[in-house]
A and B are shown apart, each in its own frame.
Chain A
Amino acid sequence: MIELKNVAKNYGLSALGLYSESAIINTGEIVGILGENGSGKTTMLKAIMGLCDIQYGEILIDGRPVFEQYDRMAFITCEGSYFPNMTPYEYGNFLAEFFPSFDMDRYWNLIKFFDLDYLKKIKTFSAGQKAKLEVSAGFSKGAKYILMDEPFLGSDMFTRRDFLKLLVSDFREDETILISTHFIDEIENIIDRAIILRYGRIKADFYIDDIKNQGKTLADIMTEVKKVLSKSKT
């Protein structure tokens, strides 16, 4: 379980990250963190991972702060967390040394599945190939909490499909996945729940089945959230 209690984060005076937001994410859920650019998605994920300091509030993972349990967390980001001068082969060996529960077999299966050249330096890869490597590493860390920030950036439709298929077929009940993306239609059937951010605030938080029961789609709700805000501004 991830608990966010009144978490606030701003980047100086000019930019707002999150504005005193609270949420509870249960173990076993696949949650979409959605919203427009600059709405606070990356800030929220980085704050949970302990990758940025928060000015106010508290974040607990299974009741304990993140810095006590980095080995249970994986962060997959479009910015890339690999070393560009390493080959996938070298990077795998590095991760195995660094993460005690790193699953080398799984890593190799993913590298093969994504058809990546394991002897070429990562910096020579295309954007899509880099994303595939990032995902291969993130999913092999043996983490219980997997946070993904725009993992599809630079990936084509077929790669995205492969990736989602992989995600659902490997998902285990004791894992929790948070994923931020703009590909709403493609993840609609993948996520249990959606948290929609706008200007650093949680504007909606709901289970997909509940909105379907009301005859609505994820896109409908996102449009509603946008409208409500535009109206209140005028």
Chain B
Amino acid sequence: MLRFDDIELNNREPVYMQIAMYVKRQILLKKVADGEQLPSRREVAAQLSINPNTVQKAYKLMEDEGFVTTSGNQRSILHIDELIFSRIDDQLTRDMIKGFIKSAKGINLSFKRVVDLISELWGDE
């Protein structure tokens, strides 16, 4: 079962979006698989000490985006196929790069300087 054990909530973004993002990351890192169960909404609310309505909102968002399905008995499971995986992969990668570009521009770095630095430092990490 997917666990929210190492999620760290910040107070800048809506919590329901942070939860959905956490699940997407787990999918991208292949820490979870298709068909895996999610804890109940009540369990997540208690574990993270957050509003149950917020958890419901997060589950709804994930259902709308297609990677969580909820059956009649209220149990939610992950639904990951190739299309969904590549969409999440694309979204998260782009978001990460966009954030990086934004902060690079924020300190007036030129494109060339950034690319040079990436080439130089890539192997270090």
> CA A168 – CA B9 in complex, angstroms?
16
Band of interface residues on A: 20 to 34
* A161 contacts B by Cβ under 8 Å: yes
In A203-233, the 8 Å CB interface with B consists of 208-209, 212-213, 215, 217-218
Selecting from A144-152, A185-193, A194-202, the interface stretch reads: A185-193
Q: Mark A13-30, 1 if CB is under 8 A from B, else 0.
A: 000000000000000111
Which B residue's beta carbon lies closest to that of A217? B11
B50 near A209 with CB under 8 A, answer: no
* B70 contacts A by Cβ under 8 Å: no
Cβ contacts under 8 Å, B57 to chain A:
209
B13 near A190 with CB under 8 A, answer: no
Band of interface residues on B: 10 to 19
Contact of B42 among A29, A169, A212, A215 (CB under 8 A): A169
> CA A91 – CA B53 in complex, angstroms?
33
Cβ of B95 to closest chain A Cβ, rounded Å: 16
Cβ contacts under 8 Å, A161 to chain B:
49
* B37 contacts A by Cβ under 8 Å: no
Cβ contacts under 8 Å, A215 to chain B:
12
* B46 contacts A by Cβ under 8 Å: yes
Cβ contacts under 8 Å, A212 to chain B:
11-15
* A112 contacts B by Cβ under 8 Å: no
* B67 contacts A by Cβ under 8 Å: no
A190 near B11 with CB under 8 A, answer: no
* A165 contacts B by Cβ under 8 Å: yes
Task: Using known A-B contacts A28-B53, A190-B51, A192-B51, determine if residue A165 contacts B46 with beta carbons closer than 8 Å.
Answer: yes
* B33 contacts A by Cβ under 8 Å: no
29 A/B residue pairs, CB under 8 Å, sorted by A: A28-B53, A30-B53, A161-B49, A165-B46, A165-B49, A168-B46, A168-B49, A168-B50, A168-B51, A168-B52, A171-B52, A173-B52, A188-B11, A189-B11, A189-B15, A189-B48, A189-B54, A190-B50, A192-B53, A192-B54, A209-B15, A209-B16, A209-B57, A212-B12, A212-B14, A212-B15, A215-B12, A217-B12, A218-B11
A residues sitting closer than 8 Å to B (CB atoms) are 28-30, 161, 164-165, 168-169, 171, 173, 185, 188-192, 208-209, 212-213, 215, 217-218
Q: A209-B14, A212-B14, A215-B12 are in contact. List 14 more A-B contacts (CB 8 A).
A: A28-B53, A30-B51, A30-B53, A165-B49, A168-B51, A189-B11, A189-B48, A189-B49, A189-B54, A190-B49, A191-B51, A192-B53, A192-B54, A209-B54
B residues sitting closer than 8 Å to A (CB atoms) are 9, 11-16, 42, 45-46, 48-54, 57
